[in-house]
Amino acid sequence: MTPNIPSLDLKDFKEGTPEQKQNFVEALGKAYEEVGFVAVRNHGLSDALCAELYEEVRKFFDLPLEVKLKYEKPEYNGQRGYVSFGREHAKDHPAPDLKEFWHFGQEVPDNDPVKAEYPPNVWCEELPRFNEVGMEVFRRLEDAGRFMLRAIALYLGLDEYYFDDKIRFGNSILRPIHYPPITQEPKDSVRAGAHEDINLITLLMGASADGLEILNKAGQWVAVTALPEQVVVNVGDMLQRLTNNRLRSTTHRVVNPPRDQWHLPRYSIPFFLHPRSDMRLDCLESCIDAQHPCLYPPISAGEYLEERLREIGLKK
């Protein structure tokens, strides 16, 4: 792992002694206050499952464009199925990102009213294992994220299970991304412009190539590479807002490779852990004091997501 990103073992929190669990909570909170990113092992994803998903993802993006376009559903505002090349851009950066991607979303049982809020998943008929493995990874990363949020809750002095009901059948998304080979001078476009994630936390499986960089507190861009057995977990804007900037959403980007590597594609699979839309993101009282006045007006997670989807071009 990149030396400036702390590496933690989730097993310490889930199965360790009380001291190991407390040490995990403290190390995680410190990392999120200072860096915004951690690398985590023992997260519940096997190497074999990760490798199979990457293989299925490659197969999907290798399909002819006319096949992929069958799965682009404009009425879903890019929230399910295929999103074609150049549709998304970073907030405040109009040049389109050099990527295409797919969205797997939450599967909700019929008896939960939140089901009516989400578009249905889109399934690729040509690649049934793409669908199956994608949803299996979705569930495992959602589970790992639940434990990460329990540790964050303890660090903030909240009940350990504060987030549990707020993320149950939350509006989370698994996003397999393909950054195709660069075939001409990209001008202002990069594979992913500098941005912060919208959600509570993001869990990123190891990408197939380098390129991810984070902006540190000294204003320097630092390369981040996840080892195969680790996922990188970072703070999103919803958690930053909830904690009144105590936990920081770190700016990051995916830069274009050196010219001699333009011919190489890049694949990446982040899991964006979202709460249910009715979760309040109003700043926690415990994060407000005379030195830290409340920085944000009240808003729900659903309202905030709508606002941000418009800013990045996925929703009109």
- Domain span including residue 12: 7-311
Element (H, E) at 305: helix 301-311
CATH number for 226: 2.60.120.330
Is residue 316 assigned to a domain?
no
CA distance 247 to 295: 13
pTM of the model: 0.90
Is residue 113 assigned to a domain?
yes
- Number of domains, the chain: 1
Above pLDDT 70, what percent of the chain? Answer: 88
Mean pLDDT to the nearest integer, 198-215:
80
Is residue 233 assigned to a domain?
yes
pLDDT in tens, 14-51: 999 999 999 999 999 999 988 888 999 999 999 899 99
Is residue 244 assigned to a domain?
yes
Is residue 1 assigned to a domain?
no
Contact 108, 170 (CB under 8 A): no
Residue in this structure with the two tokens 């310490």, named with its chain if needed: 12
Is residue 2 assigned to a domain?
no
CA distance 45 to 266: 21
Is residue 181 assigned to a domain?
yes
Decide if pLDDT at 289 tops 50: yes
Q: Which amino acid is at 266?
A: R
Q: Dihedral of the CA atoms 234, 48, 103, 40 (nearest 10)?
A: -10
Contact 112, 169 (CB under 8 A): yes
Is residue 79 assigned to a domain?
yes
pLDDT in tens, 95-111: 566 789 999 999 998 88
